[in-house]
Amino acid sequence: MTTDVASPPSRQRTRRRGGGLLPAPGWGYLMIAPALVGLVALYVWPFLTTFGKSFMDVPAFGPGTFTGVDNYTDLLGDDRFWQALRNSALYTAILLLGVPLAIVLAALIEQVGRGRALYRVLFFLPVVTLPVAVSMVWRFIYNGDFGLLNYVLSLVGVPGQYWVADATFTIYAVGVVGIWMSLGINLIILGAGLQAIPQDLYEASSLDGAGRVRQFFRITLPLLSPSVFLVTVLTVISALQMFDLIFVMLRSVNNTALADSKTIVYLFYEKAFVEFDQGYGAAIAIVLLMVIMAATILQFRLQRRWVFYD
């Protein structure tokens, strides 16, 4: 008993043995009952609803009629859908560029003695600020007529652009904000991974004469790769679901760029909850699920080639 308290909790042992489990079916069901009711009513059932509706034509009021795969064939022939898919893919690709940036910054933060906590807080600020609020701030900075960005660019002789009003630039502009917003999260996850790397590896390789850069590529990167993988998977999943930034940064009465800058989830919101075409919206949501699943499965396949598990 005393050793149990003193030693760090050994997760492995309790999990493997399963002997500590109390056979208490009554209490078991009672305790999961709230979760189960909520899960079934608000997740399983809605999921089935969405799946069912994707095969139906649902008017704004009244019951729908079964139309088979019509919604899906419509979707495949809809330029707006392909555009949204491309936009989401591009946005996701841009956000992935933030991962190497986060790795370098996380490694640098681990190196410093003083000020580490301060850096963490500063990099994390965008995470705890309302996405709606930061979108408004960036929209101001991106303003084509009097925005800060164009002014700064003019100082170095680069012509200004209408970053959020010209569809050529919108996804890139929004992508930069996306990287800025998610950097803090990635730094924390990668920081936890870095702290799990045994220090004696560095000490041993220092004795062998390895420099810091060499250590970074030979020790840090391989041992950090599981965390990098986690960050990559989470980045892709959340980037494919981007909605707020587009909603706040691009939506205004006269912004024609919005039409060409919608993401999958924005298109879904518009179809299902503005135009109330729920069947079509449901089909978009199902396609989103399939895209996310495909992307995630692909990443798990690829991880064998680059993720290092000891």
Partner 1 sequence: MTDQILRSRRTDRAANGSKASRHGEWVIHVVLTAAAVVMVAPFVWQLLTIFKSNREASQVPPTFLPEGPTTDAFATFFGSVPFWAQLTVSLSALVLRVIGQLTVSALAGYAFARLRFPGRRLLFGLFIAMLMVPSQLFLIGQFEIIRDFQLLDTVPALAIPGMFSAFGIFLMRQAFMSIPAGFEEAARLDGAGPLRTFWFVMLPMVRPTMAALAVLTSLYSWNDLLWPLIVTPRGDKRPLTVGLAGLQGQFGTDYPTLMAGALVASLPLILIFLVLQRQFFSGIASSGLKG
Question: Scanning residues 61 to 120, which ones bind partner 1 (CB under 8 A)?
Answer: 105, 108-109, 111-115, 117, 119-120
Write the CB contacts of 282 (distance below 8 Å, at least 6 apart in sequence): 49, 50, 51, 52, 53, 54, 56, 58, 71, 272
- Window 29 to 48, contacts with partner 1 (CB under 8 A): 29, 31-32, 34-36, 38-39, 41-48
Q: How far is the CB of 150 from partner 1 (least distance, A)?
A: 9
Q: Which member of 164, 248, 257, 307 binds partner 1 (CB under 8 A)?
A: 248
Structure tokens at 255: 């912004």
Task: Decide whether 41 or 204 has the Cβ nearer to partner 1.
Answer: 41
Q: Which of 69, 76, 133, 204 binds partner 1 (CB under 8 A)?
A: 133
From CA 15, how far away is CA 3, in angstroms rounded? 18
Q: Closest by alpha carbon to 262, among 183, 171, 188?
A: 171
Residue from 57, 180, 205, 222 touching partner 1 (CB under 8 A): that is 180
Instruction: Kindly indicate which of the ranges 26-34, 59-67, 78-86, 88-96 contains the residues binding partner 1, using the contact rule CB under 8 A.
Output: 26-34
> In the set 81, 91, 269, 280, which binds partner 1 (CB under 8 A)?
269
Backbone angles phi, psi at 173, to 5 degrees: -60, -45
Q: DSSP 3-state assignment of 29?
A: helix
Q: What are the residues whose beta carbons fall under 8 Å from the beta carbon of 308, sequence distance 6 or more?
A: 222, 223, 225, 226
Stretch that binds partner 1, among 67-75, 80-88, 166-174, 234-242 (CB under 8 A): 234-242
Distance CA 101, CA 186 (A): 10
Q: Which CB sits closer to partner 1, 139 or 171?
A: 139
262 binds partner 1 (CB under 8 A): no
Phi, psi (5° rounding) for residue 57?
-100, 115
**Length, in residues, of the chain:** 310
Binding pattern to partner 1, positions 193-222, x when CB under 8 A? --xx--x-----------------------
Closer residue to partner 1 (CB): 69 or 297: 297
Residue 43: CB minimum distance to partner 1, A: 5
135-164 positions binding partner 1, by CB under 8 A: 136-138, 140-141, 143, 145-146, 148, 151, 154
Nearer CB in complex with partner 1: 248/307 = 248
User: In angstroms, rounded to a whole number, what is the distance separating the alpha carbons of residues 241 and 266?
Assistant: 9
Exactly one of 55, 278, 283, 307 binds partner 1 (CB under 8 A); which one? 278
Q: Distance (Å, rounded) from C-alpha 92 to C-alpha 267?
A: 16
User: Helix, strand or coil for residue 57?
Assistant: strand
CA 218, CA 175: separation in Å to the nearest integer? 31
